[in-house]
Amino acid sequence: MKIIIAFLFLAGFSICLFTCTSRYKGGDDPRGAAYAGAASCVQCHGEIAGSYAHSNHFKTSSETDFESVRKIITSLNDTVRFPGGQLVVLEAAGKKIAQTYMLNGEWAASRQMDLAFGSGEKAWTFGYWKDEQLYQLPLTYLSELKRWTNSPGFPADHPNYGRLIVGRCMECHSSYATVQNSLEQGMNYTEKIAASSIIYGIDCERCHGPAAQHVAFHKDNPGVKSARFMTAIGSLSRQQQLDLCGTCHSGDPVTLKSIFAFVPGDSLSNYYMYYPGAAANPDAHGMQMQSLMQSQCFLQSDLTCTSCHDTHIKESNKREVFVQRCMSCHLKSDHAVTMAGAKNDCINCHMPLEASKSLDFNNSAEHSGVSYRLRTHRIAIYPAPEGK
């Protein structure tokens, strides 16, 4: 009984989390009238909405939640040193946290952490607003190491407050943002993001496409139990399913038009032009699609991303779930059966952690070249991991 009550409580809480954090109700969605807004799915898809609220996709961008950030600032861990007496200090005051630049003990600059990128599963980086432009702050938090460090790709010799967060980050880390860019003669490139247009996190319609008609139909026809005005992703071709995930998981190619317009069934070739050779040696960061496509599992079966991932549920670090997914195909391998029986983790051996070649963290004073490590999706036989 207690368990049931606890479960009901959790379910209610999850749904509240979802509706309460969704800023748009049906009808006033900044993407237009074809979109219903995430809050409108809860009524009929309560279970999915409840679990999805905890997913990293849903939490991948937000206005900074000061309480969560405050938790990870401790007295030992709120300063990052740069060479030559330069420091960046995290300062909490009231409900705001700022990254403050000190030079030889003197205050030099300070900016508030207005916006957070990343769920914090691996990293959190922050932005601040100035004249409708969004800039990235110098310090990023690395969850695995539990420490703050210079943001990736930032200069190592001084804290940088001048890097724009462009609309492109929004395309993969949010559901929508209106972006206006301009390149005036002899002037800097600017991108203005309308703060009020941002739909933070990846919501249902970011993957499933506009659903206002679907919602309206099913509200008017509660007796109809099969979906109308909604693409069934599972019935799309393999390539179409890969392309859906590939909008954000196939690297950063030349963009022909904004992927905000992508809907399930669409083709990535309408949006992206890949650099020649980019697929040959795909980065572990952001290029899961190309890596997977080099695996024998992919080449010799009809595997897609959803063979292993249920994106409605937060499954990160649930290794036993992934081992089961491997075993859905590898029951004929005596080796695999033995390993699974002995609770040996397939992933450590066959999808080892790999450092990103495109991202690392460096501020030369405290540490240089801290790598960003992810699971390679080129599933294969690798030399035994160190220490084994």
CA distance 76 to 100: 16
Residue 278 makes contact with ligand HEC by CB under 6 A: no
Tokens in use for 182?
């301009």
Whichever of 17 and 305 has its CB closer to ligand HEC, that residue is 305
Q: Report the site for ligand HEC in 31-60 (rule: CB under 6 A).
A: 36, 40-41, 43-45, 48-49, 52, 56-57, 60
Q: Report the site for ligand HEC in 146-165 (rule: CB under 6 A).
A: 165
Whichever of 22 and 100 has its CB closer to ligand HEC, that residue is 22
Burial class (CB in 10 A: 0-12, 13-18, 19+), 300: exposed
Whichever of 31 and 214 has its CB closer to ligand HEC, that residue is 214
Size of the site for ligand HEC (CB under 6 A): 97
Residue 69 makes contact with ligand HEC by CB under 6 A: no
Whichever of 102 and 135 has its CB closer to ligand HEC, that residue is 135
**Cβ proximity of 55 and 311 under 8 Å:** yes
**Cβ proximity of 337 and 329 under 8 Å:** no
Residue type, 327: M
Q: Report the site for ligand HEC in 75-94 (rule: CB under 6 A).
A: none
CA distance 280 to 387: 29
Name, in order, each residue with C-beta under 8 angstroms of 101's C-beta and a sequence gap of 6 or more. 86, 87, 88, 107, 108, 109, 110, 138, 159, 161
Q: Which of 137, 211, 268, 370 binds ligand HEC (CB under 6 A)?
A: 211
Q: Report the site for ligand HEC in 218-237 (rule: CB under 6 A).
A: 218-219, 225-227, 230, 232-234
Q: Report the site for ligand HEC in 339-378 (rule: CB under 6 A).
A: 339-340, 344-347, 349-351, 374-375, 377
Residue 252 makes contact with ligand HEC by CB under 6 A: yes
- Residue whose structure tokens are 């005005």: 229
CA distance 205 to 34: 10
Tokens in use for 205?
């319609």
Q: Which of 207, 266, 268, 272 binds ligand HEC (CB under 6 A)?
A: 207
Whichever of 2 and 332 has its CB closer to ligand HEC, that residue is 332
Degrees to nearest 5, angle at CA 62 with 61 and 66: 130
State in angstroms the smallest separation of the CB of 39 from ligand HEC. Answer: 8
Residue 256 makes contact with ligand HEC by CB under 6 A: no
Tokens in use for 118?
């990343």
State in angstroms the smallest separation of the CB of 95 from ligand HEC. Answer: 22
**Cβ proximity of 41 and 218 under 8 Å:** no
